[in-house]
Structure 1
Amino acid sequence: MKTYLSSILLFVFLNSFAQQKSSILPVRTSINLNQNWSFAKDPTRQFTALDFHNLKWSKVTIPHTWNAFDVMDDEPGYYRGIGWYKKKLALKPEWKNKKISLYFEGANQETTVYLNGKKIGSHIGGYTAFTIPLTDLKFNGTDEIAVKVDNSFNENIAPLTADFTFFGGMYRNVSLVVLNSIHFEDNQYASKGVYVHTNNVSKTTAEVIVNGNLINSSANAELTIRTTLTDATGKKINEAKTGIRSTLNKLIPFTLAAIKVNNPILWSPENPYLYQATTQLVDKTGKVLDEIKLPVGLRFFSFEAEKGFFLNGMPYKLIGTSRHQDFAGMGNAVPSALQVKDIELLKDMGGNFLRVAHYPQDQAVLDACDRMGILASVEIPIVNEITETEAFYRNCKNMQLEMIKQNYNHPSIIIWAYMNEVLLRMKFTKDPLRKEKYVTNIATLAQELEDLTRTTDPTRYTMMSNHGDVTGYTKAGLVKIPMLVGWNLYQGWYGGKSEDFGPNLDKIHQQMPDKPILVTEFGADVDPRIHAFSPVKFDKSLEYGMLYHQIYIAAILKRPFVAGAAVWNLSDFNSETRDETMPHINNKGLLTLDRQPKNTYYLYKANFQTKPFIKISDGSWKLRGGIATSNENTVTQLLQVISNTDTVELYVNGKSLGKKGVHERVSNWDVAFKNGKNEIKAVSFVSGVKMEDLSTLNFNLQPLALNNPEVPFKEINITLGSQRQFIDEHKQEIWLPSQAYKTGSWGNIGGEVFKIKNSSRQTYGTDKNIRGTANDPIYQTQLVGLDSYQLDVPKGKYEVTLHFAELMGNGIQSVLPYNLDSLIAVSKEVPPQRVFDVYLNDKLVIKNINLAATYGIANSVQKKFECSVADDKGIQILFKSIKGKAVLNALQVKKINQ
């Protein structure tokens, strides 16, 4: 009897344990499928899912793009076509009665999915998620998924053109989702089917409202939908529930009664407090069939045309950046952890606003914004222009719905946007009537997207971002349609002066005093390898970028009607069609493409981070060089300290240079650098607490006289036709700007700075991609018509390298196609024939060189020679013109140890 009772008790215990274990298993299972995919390109577009096995396959891991590297080579264009992915599925037998789907977080841009050779679904659009249901599965290990992804140009899919790269591939996570036959679902837009929004939020009370849809593919059932609201500690606040009768194979909408919250803790960037709403679908036996957990941020906000943005009843300036999703060496196939790191960098900078541009991005980005307190705007990729077809309009509206539905539950989002600079690439410019119709169609699409957005989500604001053609957008009626207008302004870059920015903002506000505005883009190219002590627009120097951003920050903070501002961009990003000093990269970022901070990042950190901050602005300039102005063995150069303190004391090689006040978050110092290592220390005190930053700068001092015995000559690298330094960190080389020859020293004799004619863009050089080098700035400037180059080096043996590139030719652009002030001008001048000889110390070393005919336009050419100096005449390089004018872009002289 005892044995029998013991057995019963053991059975009851084990059965109870099994039920408890079953009850804590997730009711919706998501299985990561990123591993063990095979990939092949299909450039001929001839294969189908039934015969694609003859393609050349390789093993890949998702996220994956086929454009990670071809976008960075010197060949124009990148692969835009079809890529195939395939994978075997391992399915559990117990899933046979479940709803099984593939969930793709993003694939660019047309995707077709096959199961065992049969098409089962497709999706249009490269930046939103989609779900593909799986039916007729075999469950015996032979099921194979094939995915065809196509990033070819399609006139019916936005974006049509843009200043970023349209990477192809399955570049975000993919997973297998297993659900019960009765579950929450939005079967059109790949959301979870449950939506939470807040209502009547104040400092004393708030309401949380939950609605959504469920679907029943099993049998009619009596169900309960219950939402429980808990605080950040897990403590229950309140709940709402409703009973519902679910009929078979029908999508059933529901809305729960408002959940009241007394004395809410309000969400803000300073305190991103998150409640949690847990919504369960329960059958009549009490079994939980589905469960969705969503973050809830209780906040209220508004925009006013005169006073800007208000959060939780207080005036609040939105300050942050826009963001692209690609990363160095990865393209857009970036792991979620690196995406989150971007938001951490933005937060550490003191930012409170992210413009997710120009397309919806990884959910991990917005999850991080929710947690860290970053307010966000999200937009669909209608950029530059539209196509006037019903298919284009339909796809845009579907993208807008997918964006809203998939991102609805992020409390960080306050703005939905839908067009960016849509008048930039104007069509039909030679046909006024047709052009007017085109603009009218843009406005019609904008109004339809506006109406759709406000109907789908009336709790947030809407926005369009426009380039600087204020009159054009006003005349088109586009500034009246959205609730907010964003302006992409680049005074001091694409046109005008930086000082024009503030007055231009005033003018815009005067023209539309009833419309809240944001500055959704502003920035200047900063190549961290380039430095200038007399910075000018388009020299790409770090120093010009600092001056530019100082002016913009001051103007933005001064004007309360500017609700917010987003720097273009958080980081550098790939734009395959760009040339410039870093071909294929837009380097307006505050961070490099691999997320290394530039000095401009630290400037924002000093302005907007609340904690005390001090930083020696060495950035990438820990390797410096300079020319002595006399026979002294030091070179005096500017050094900046970036700080949000009042006063900074600077120490150089152990000696104090005194204290200086900080103006616009920067203190400027004239530092006498010695040859070799220089130890720098910046010190400041905040409320009696000492703060300091340390740096070691290696300085390559170039004496005025090359035969200075205290600094023996080793080598010199010289660029011609510019007044900027270039640092090649890989080779540890410093390239100094040329100078006019001085007796006993070195320099050019004769020659004019190369400048593209009829260009309002830059005062010297070109932005043309120089093929065959990663150090484009060395070749993008030159002296034209120089007579000779003289270096008064001491006796010895030397290696001399001459660097050439022909910079003129048909179709060389004097400005970028993405000129936001519409000052586009293209030089199509055919250059004169340029034929010349070069003599090195009276010896003919280059005869009848014709750069354009022999090497083509914008190709790097190096000519290396050795010579001996046995007298006091040094090195003389003579240029003898045969036809046209001789040129030289750069030269290097190195002493050969004997």
Structure 2
Amino acid sequence: MMIKFFLPLLYVCFFVASAHSQTRIRQSINSNWSFHKGDIKGLPAKQPADVRWQSVSIPHSWNTEDVTDDEPGYYRGISWYKKTLYLPASVKNKQTYLYFEGANQVAEVYVNGQLAGKHVGGYTAFSFLIQPYLKAGNDSLTANEVLVKLDNSYNESIPPLDADFTFFGGIYRDVYLITADNIHFDMDNYASSGIQIKTPLVNANTATISISGKITNRFTSNRNLMIMTEISDAEGKLIKKVQSPVKANASGNTAFMQQQQITMPHLWSPNDPYLYRIVSKIIDRSTGALLDEVSNPLGLRWYSFDAAKGFYLNGKPLKLIGASRHQDFKDMANALPDAIHQRDMELLKNMGANFVRIAHYPQDPAILEACDRLGLLASVEIPIVNYITESDSFYNNCKQMQIEMVRQNFNHPSIIIWAYMNEVLLRPKYEKNSDEQNRYFASITALAKQIEALTHQEDSGRYTMIPCHGDYNLYNRVGLTAVPQIVGWNLYPGWYSPRIEDFAGFLDKYHQEFPQKPMIVTEFGADADTRIHSTQPERFDKSIEYQTYYHQYYLKTILQKPFVAGAAIWNLVDFNSEQRKDATPHINTKGITTSERIPKDAYFFYQANLLKKPFLKIGATGWKLRTGIADLNNTCTQQVYIFTNGVQVQLWHNGKMLQNQATNSGVAVFQVPFTNGNNTIKAASTVNGVVCEDIAQINFKLIPALFKNKPLQYTDLNISLGDRRFFVDEKLAQVWMPEQPYHKGSWGYIGGKVFTMPAQSRQSFGSDKDIYGTDMDAIYQTQRTGIQAFKFDVPDGEYELTLGFAELEGKATSPALVYNLGNAAQTAEAKQRAFDVLINGTTVIPSLSTQNYLVPQTAYTTTFRVSAKNSAGITVNFKPLKGEAILNAIQLKQVF
């Protein structure tokens, strides 16, 4: 009777006291840092006086500029950060930690010249107790210096070793100063919250919640404590409370566990992401003081994967559809504020997605917080990419990262999958089928089994996955498909391989041979540069239109096959990959939004197919400025894409209704007869009784088919040689047209052929080389070789003629890329060529050659003032002296 009476009275004391108690304080310290790029000899013991420091704020990266310039490679090495903390005398009686959400990739933290800790790995959080190294005065604030030595150099012991993304250096996520009582929830548990929440049983009628963790007692004597856990609903109403007495061991940790049940739980799902809140408290039983408090989200759901029927959430089938996401932003590297991380998840949710693959590494905590809140199911993975190092240090770092990832993110209800080893067989070491390679493969499989077992030891409730590239036979032979619970496939038929139809065949083959193993399409995508458009889209043309076609086929196939549990588009956003040399150098443009988060047509396509609310959008991202050749009606017909979840679309052009057309998988394509000048396009559809409309203004420059006896109706004519696409330069308000052969009275090339890369199966025209000295690489990546002439049968007048050249055969000399193990410096002789350029019979460029202006992979342009006289127009001739003449681009502008 006395015990029963004592506890309620004691609880009242706790409640009153805790209302006025100060628990842990978590304070961001992102401002007023100093930065030095490069190593500093003498640090941390002695600071040289001549070192120049730059004032920065966190998040910060030192690779915001060198990853997009024309210089191959980017800085990977040591840099230093410095900050002064002004701390009160009270820190003497507190436990003080420095908490880093992420810093790439090896961090050493010094406080007042003493090493507080070292962390390996660029994508997980870490924290160090700095209490022993602090100075504190008696009354006033005392200065304490923090130094961080950071190194993002290639290190064969640290994943990722190689990948199609940039390994930015910097303290690129938030930094916090945390002070806590000498008795607190474990703050040395791999930078986790110290509390682990499990839901071992959830169904529509009941939910069992397990709360466990450790209490740290820094005092030299045992302490009598009470652990109190409060569960509140989404409105903040307290619905459950449990308290347990604990005797905390002196100078150590004491484990605890509590359980609670909720009847008729409000379940969490993408359509209803209902979150409870769990607050865990430590209370001193002798004084009633609140010593520490930690809050975590609680989402109640249950789920399963079925190899034949896909994914189930809360007992109902749900096709997982979403995207993968990289963490960088244009001109910011990966040093992003939380608002951008959150907005990316909102972009996904607004697309109608229910799934995100957080690839290829754990990302900012704001991401999963947004997933919990918005209702996005998530897969998270550690950055073992492309290949491994066969060493204990590499294996140990991999396993350390997996533990950190799981423990730091354990309490997020959005997470359903822990993953590892993305495309780990993409670049096998050693000679094919050699004994060395077979041992290497065995090492990979052994490491996978170790990580798999470790993951289940850390979290027995969630699924595991290995994302594999499309070499089906190799992954099966090595045995990786047998290790995880789910196999992910990164598939690109129709992009990296020719036949898009092979995608469906691959899925069927896998399911037939592995009928008991669930699968997810973890990557699929096609590059699209928002400046490039095509009326006849084709593989590898980087056009917006081909990307749309590609995703139409893939989504339809994925939805048709119930055994495909889900799919993640590669990628939500365009992201930096410094070594890429495509139409947009250093950028992987497979995103369905740009690096600035501007949606492409493919994004609208998914909205049309995934959103439940009425939706309609006129497509052709960025193609609001167009050009084309006039027909007999003085119009030019080009397609306009409409994306909607309606079944019929009406389209108006300049106030006149053109057509009422049925949609196909959310898309309707109209042929619009554009006129010169401004064209108003209006589309409308009725969706579930709601009328959806969109209007677009398109400025069209109509080029006359024949110039003779007609006034000139254009300001400039821009032609991309060897090209079949349109290129829109919005900054200069220019549209580059595909080439055409010359015919009398018009314009065009005479002779030659379209340049194609030798032994290249990816694209049928042009080059994928980085072209230096221009930001219009796509124009200079195509050319006509062996060209004899280019003619314009323009009326008499004064013109400005610009010629553009780029030598595409041979490579510019470049240094070894420091992030590629064993990659030698690239040197190759340019093709020897020389030719004269003549305008209207006069030699204007004598002996243009690879010995002067034709520097490999470098744009060379030159402009001439030309008079067209005596109805002869303008003729540019190319006279070969050695090899073939070339032309990449030509522009003609009438002056008067």
TM tier, shorter chain? over 0.9
> Hey, what does 1:13 align to over in structure 2?
none
After the TM superposition, which residues 166-565 of structure 1 pair with which residues of structure 2 at under 5 Å, given as runs? 166-218=167-219, 219-256=221-258, 258-284=259-285, 285-429=287-431, 432-565=434-567
Cross-structure match for 2:61: 65
Q: Deviations over 1:261-309 (max 9, x none)?
A: 1001110000000111111111112211111111100000000111110
3-state SS, counterpart of residue 545 of structure 2:
helix
Deviation at 1:617, TM superposition (A): 0.6
What CA distance in whole angstroms lies between the structure 1 residues aligned with 2:555 and 2:793? 47
Partner of 2:136: 139
Does residue 80 in structure 1 map to residue 76 in structure 2?
Answer: yes
- Offset, 1:26: 4.8
The CA distance in 2 between the partners of 1:800 and 1:479, in whole Å, is 59
The amino acid across from 2:886 in the alignment is V
Q: Distance in 1 between matches of 2:555 and 2:22?
A: 49
How much does 1:659 deviate? 0.6
- Tell me, yes or no, if the aligned pair for 1:707 and 1:713 is still in contact at 8 Å: no
CA distance in 1, matches of 2:499, 2:766: 20
Instruction: Give the letter aligned to residue 522 of structure 1.
Output: F
Asked whether the 8 Å contact 2:809–2:831 carries over to 1, the reply is no
Q: 1:854 Cα deviation (Å)?
A: 4.0
Measured in 2, the distance between the counterparts of 1:183 and 1:426 equals: 47
Alpha-carbon distance between aligned partners in 1 of 2:601 and 2:826, rounded to the nearest angstrom: 34
Distance, in Å, in 1 between the alignment partners of 2:733 and 2:306 is: 53
Partner-residue secondary structure (3-state), 1:384: coil
**Runs of 4+ displaced beyond 6 Å:** 19-22, 826-829
Structure-to-structure mapping, 1:99-110, within 5 angstroms: 99-110=95-106
Q: Which deviates more, 617-626 or 40-49?
A: 40-49
Q: Secondary structure at the match of 2:110?
A: strand
Structure 1 position 509, deviation (Å): 1.1
Structure 2: give runs of 5+ residues left out of the alignment.
Answer: 1-11, 820-824
Match of 1:895 in 2: 894
User: 1:657 aligns to what SS in structure 2?
Assistant: strand
| Cα separation, 2, equivalents of 1:414 and 1:91 | 41
Matched residue type, 1:891: I
2:22, 2:291 within 8 Å by CA — same for their partners in 1?
no
Is the Cα–Cα contact under 8 Å of residues 805 and 851 in structure 1 kept in the other structure? no
Matched residues, number:
870
After superposition, the C-alpha distances for 1:784-809 in whole angstroms (9 at most, x for unaligned) are: 00110000111111111100000011
Residue 801 of structure 2 aligns to a residue in which SS? strand
Partner of 1:862: 861
CA shift in 2, pair 1:45/1:838, >3 Å: farther
Taking the aligned partners of 1:551 and 1:294, their CA distance within structure 2 comes to: 41
Deviates most, 701-710 or 210-219: 701-710
Report whether the alignment pairs 1:29 with 2:28.
no
Q: Which residue of 1 aligns with 2:616?
A: 614
1:528 and 1:598 in contact (8 A); partners too: yes
Cα pair 1:198 1:208 within 8 Å, conserved:
yes
C-alpha separation in 2, matches of 1:170 and 1:513: 45
Q: Call closer, same or farther: CA 1:811–1:427 in 2, change over 3 Å.
A: farther
Distance across 2 between alignment mates of 1:642 and 1:430: 47
Distance in 2 between residues matched to 1:42 and 1:209, nearest whole Å? 48
1:55 shift after superposition = 2.2
Superposition pairs of residues 679-718 of structure 1, within 5 angstroms: 679-707=680-708, 709=710, 712-718=713-719
Partner residue of 2:660?
A: 659
In the aligned structure 2, how far is the partner of 1:22 from the partner of 1:409? 25
Q: Secondary structure at the match of 2:198?
A: strand
- 35-44 or 486-495, which deviates more: 35-44
Q: Deviations over 1:424-449 (max 9, x none)?
A: 11001257100000000000110000
Q: Distance in 2 between matches of 1:513 and 1:827?
A: 46
Equivalence for 1:55: 51
Check whether the contact 2:840–2:874 (CA below 8 A) recurs between aligned residues: yes
Deviation per CA, 1:98-131: give whole Å up to 9, x if none. Answer: 0001000000000001111121111000000000
Letter in 2 for 1:759: Q
Deviation at 1:467, TM superposition (A): 0.2
Deviation at 1:681, TM superposition (A): 0.6
Query: SS state of the match for residue 393, structure 2?
Result: helix
Contact 1:186 1:213 in 2 (8 A): no
Give distance in 2, aligned partners of 1:143 and 1:689. Answer: 63
Q: Residues 623-638 of structure 1: matches in 2 within 5 Å?
A: 623-630=625-632, 632-638=633-639
Give, as a single letter, the amino acid of the residue that structure 2 aligns with 1:132: F
In 1, the alpha carbon distance for the partners of 2:20 and 2:455 equals: 38
RMSD value over aligned CA atoms? Answer: 2.1
CA distance in 2, matches of 1:25, 1:40: 41
The residue aligned with 1:823 is none
| Percent identical | 49
What are the ranges of 5 or more consecutive residues in structure 1 without an aligned counterpart? Answer: 1-15, 819-825
* Residues 1:678 and 1:88: Cα distance change in structure 2 (over 3 Å): same
User: Structure 2 CA distance, aligned partners of 1:195 and 1:884?
Assistant: 71
- Aligned residue for 1:341, secondary structure, equals helix
Are 1:788 and 2:789 matched, yes or no?
A: yes
Larger deviation: 708-717 or 486-495? 708-717
How far has the Cα of 1:248 moved from its partner? 1.7
How far is 1:20 from its partner? 6.9
TM superposition shift of 1:689: 2.7
Please tell me the residue identity of whatever aligns with 2:421.
Answer: M
Pair 227,713 (structure 1): closer, same or farther in 2 beyond 3 Å: closer
Q: Which amino acid aligns with 1:871?
A: N
Q: Which residue of 1 aligns with 2:882?
A: 883
Counterpart in the other structure of 2:7: none
Structure 1 CA distance for aligned equivalents of residues 680 and 42 of structure 2: 64
**Residues 596 and 236 (structure 1 numbering): CA distance in 2 closer, same or farther, change over 3 Å?**
same
Question: Any conservation in 1 of the 2:114–2:133 contact (CA below 8 Å)?
Answer: no
User: Is contact 1:49-1:114 (8 Å) kept?
Assistant: no
Shift in CA distance, 852/175, structure 1 to aligned 2, threshold 3 Å = farther
TM-score by length of 2: 0.95
Give the Cα separation in 2 of the matches to 1:540 and 1:896. Answer: 34
Q: CA deviation at 1:51?
A: 2.8
Residue matched to 1:587:
589
The amino acid of 2:556's aligned partner reads: A
Q: Tell me, yes or no, if the aligned pair for 1:806 and 1:852 is still in contact at 8 Å.
A: no
Instruction: State the secondary structure of the residue aligned to 2:487.
Output: strand
Which residue is 2:675 aligned to?
Answer: 674
1:862-897 Cα distance to aligned partner (Å, 9 max, x none)? 011111112211010000001110000001111113
Q: Secondary structure at the match of 1:553?
A: helix
Q: SS state of the match for residue 142, structure 1?
A: strand
After superposition, the Cα gap between the structure-2 partners of 1:381 and 1:798, relative to the gap in structure 1 and judged at 3 Å, is: same
Say if 1:45 and 1:452 are closer, same or farther in 2 by CA, change over 3 A.
farther
Q: Deviations over 1:27-59 (max 9, x none)?
A: 110111000000001157775452355322110
| Offset, 1:752 | 0.2
Whether contact under 8 Å (2:832, 2:850) holds in the other structure is no
Label 1:102 to 1:856 Cα distance change in 2 as closer, same or farther (>3 A). same
Q: Distance in 2 between matches of 1:43 and 1:250?
A: 38
Using the size of structure 1 for normalisation, the TM-score is: 0.94
Q: Which residue of 1 aligns with 2:3?
A: none
Question: What residue number does 1:98 align with?
Answer: 94
- CA–CA separation in structure 2 for the residues paired with 1:848 and 1:99: 75
Distance 1:845 1:279, change over 3 A: same
Matched with 1:722 is 723
Structure-2 separation of matches of 1:832 and 1:121: 54
Post-superposition shift, 1:358? 0.3
What amino acid is the match of 2:653?
V
